[in-house]
Chain A
Amino acid sequence: MYGGGYIYDPENKNQAPIAEDPEKLAEFEAKIDNGEKIEPSDWMPYEYRRQLIRMIEQHAHSEIIGALPEGTWITRAPGFKRKMALIAKVQDEIGHGQLLYAAAETLGKPREQMLNDLLSGKSKYSNVFNYPAKTWADVAVIGFLIDAGAIINQLANSKGSYAPYGRALKRICAEESFHLKQGYEAFVYLATGTSTQRAMLQDAVNRWWPPIMHFFGPSDKISVHTEKLIRWQVKMDTNDNMRNDFLEQYVPKIWELDITLPDPNLRKNPETGRWEYTEPDWDEFFRVISGNGPCNKERLDVRRWVEESGRWVRQALFKPNEIYKVPLA
């Protein structure tokens, strides 16, 4: 699950524009305008490849880091049904990571290097996973609302121009729709349960609302490098449009369960048909994404432990004479 509205790209500012062969570029853009897909062996501009690697890699990292806050609740899930559903769900997320690293590898960057960039902080993951899952109700909120947000983003991106990413996203969305169902069911059980259960859920919704509003990335007013990415069909919709789609589909479902949302200005404007809300705190978003959120250190420490404690296994699998080949998806 992932909201890809924000591609962390500190190098972008210092990047000298690459002069592409104008004929090849025109051919490439015509292809995209015609709705044709780009395969790994096709010619593509440097910037297209670079942005896609960043985007898919960031998506893959989000899957494996996203497994951590929910994963800690597998051993504590109440009852067999929830326990089995949650293991299956988190297992799917790791599977999505595997699928996405493979898609990014088709662009020439090996998985090992992507994981190293995650640990060094050179490459980021979805900001939402820098917040803690404090109670069981958080698992219901993540499974329902974060997965719902991810589906909106990923369904849009699955129609993008890069074929291996689109194929991976179609498979991922099919699984995410089950995650949403199990998350919604757990959410409904808490919302319609005892007063303790309802209080747990309301508290979790209150805490998760700001990160959920951040999930689709900064407002279009302040979001950079969107235009070219939309023209190349790397980014398929704007952050604000996706946020609006999410509010349109899910706010009524939350309200109908008598759960409130901590934003007095949240309402649908009947004239414009768009949702209005208090502008999310983007300073907080940038503060957290740059490493100062409540769980950034913990998440990376866990992945570092995985890297270090599992190194002997990977070394035992290593075949020194094998040459790295870029897969074709």
Chain B
Amino acid sequence: MNTQALKEMLCKMGDDALIMGHRNAEWTGLAPTLEEDISFSSIAQDQIGHALAMYTLMHEHLGEPNPDIIGFSRPETDFTCCHLVELPNSGYDFSLIRHFLFDHAEILRYKALTNSAFTPLAQVAAKITGELKYHILHANTWVRHLGNATEEAKARLQTSLNTLLPYALGIFEPSIFEQALIADGIFIGENALQTQWMQTIAAILKQTALHLPDVTTIQPVYGGRRGYHTEYLQPLLTEMTEVFRIDEQAEW
């Protein structure tokens, strides 16, 4: 088994979940209804838990430091999250569409990983898939509802969808280890995942008044998996580690 390939994969999954969880947690106290406030907090809490699970696998099986050090002490260039998760929340429509696009990719990824040749990951993936089912149920319900509601709601969702699609395609930026991961039976590969994802989101969006642009004409936003990030990641990390950095050796 190519441990370098595995480490890289676990790290990007952990980073995606941590940064997405951070952004979704910013809705706590501020969502359009109390029920949505609770939902977004709950989703964020799950995602931070998923990051912890990935970093724990890296710590326990691949010789990496403890999860707090992985999550809270690396420089920005060591993060391999995609740009989609880094973008600041610009409105509820933006966060909802991002949640829809991201969590559909997440559930398909973790479902595929339940068959991973790396057994500890397969076990964790089964548990995480169970949580992601609710994320999908939540995202689909709201996209279907708002995507068929008032003109304003439809227009807002459409704008966010158009803005976010190039970034969402960046989720599937291939790894240099792609072939090794597939050959070792660790993962089905980003290409196969993207195909499944396209079919799923197209089927849901078809039930709404929203229009799915032709993705073959869209240039995906890549770079995150190689440590190149948007201008928004560094300020996010500075905020996230503000207390931890006061004393990294202290117990908080």
Binding site for B on A (CB under 8 A): 64, 67-68, 71, 74-80, 82-84, 87-88, 90-91, 94-95, 97-98, 101, 136, 186, 189-190, 193-194, 196-197, 302, 305-306, 309-317
Q: Is B44 an interface residue (CB 8 A)?
A: yes
Min distance, Cβ B229 to any Cβ of chain A, angstroms = 17
Q: Is the CB of B71 within 8 A of A80?
A: yes
Cross-chain contact B49 with A76 (CB below 8 angstroms): no
For B68, the chain A residues whose CB sits under 8 A away are 79-80
Q: Which of B29, B37, B48, B243 contacts A84 (CB 8 A)?
A: B48
Contacts of B35 in A (CB 8 A): 98
Q: B49 — which chain A residues lie within 8 A by C-beta? A: 84
Q: Which residues 17-36 in B have Cβ within 8 Å of A in the complex?
A: 22, 25-26, 28-36
B202 at the interface (CB under 8 A from A): no
> For chain B residues 236-250, which have a beta carbon within 8 Å of chain A?
236, 239-240, 242-244, 246-247, 250
Q: Select B252's contact among A84, A90, A91, A189, beta carbons within 8 Å.
A: A189
Q: Is the CB of B33 within 8 A of A314?
A: yes
In the assembled complex, how far is the CB of residue A200 from the closest CB belonging to chain B, in whole angstroms?
Answer: 8
Neighbouring A residues of B243 by C-beta, 8 Å: 76-78, 136
Q: Is the CB of A68 within 8 A of B252?
A: no
Give bound CA distance, A313 to B33, whole Å.
Answer: 8
B55 CB, nearest partner CB in chain A, Å: 8
User: Do A78 and B38 form a contact, CB below 8 Å, given A90-B28, A196-B246?
Assistant: no
- List, in ascending order, chain B residues with CB within 8 A of A87's CB: 25, 28, 41, 44-45, 48
Q: Are A305 and B30 in contact (CB under 8 A)?
A: yes
Instruction: Across the A-B interface, give the 10 residue pairs with the lowest CB-CB distance, nearest first.
Output: A310-B32, A316-B149, A91-B41, A313-B32, A78-B252, A316-B153, A71-B29, A78-B243, A78-B244, A67-B29
Q: Contact residues of B with A, CB < 8 Å?
A: 22, 25-26, 28-38, 41-42, 44-45, 48-49, 51-52, 67-68, 71-72, 91-92, 145-146, 149-150, 152-153, 156, 236, 239-240, 242-244, 246-247, 250-252
B153 nearest CB neighbor, chain A only: A316
List 27 A-B residue pairs with CB atoms under 8 Å apart, sorted by A's residue number. A75-B236, A76-B243, A78-B72, A79-B71, A80-B51, A80-B67, A80-B68, A82-B252, A84-B45, A84-B48, A84-B49, A91-B38, A94-B28, A94-B34, A95-B34, A136-B252, A194-B250, A196-B247, A306-B29, A310-B33, A312-B152, A312-B153, A313-B92, A314-B32, A314-B33, A315-B153, A316-B146
Q: Known contacts A315-B150, A316-B146: does B41 contact A94 (CB below 8 Å)?
A: yes
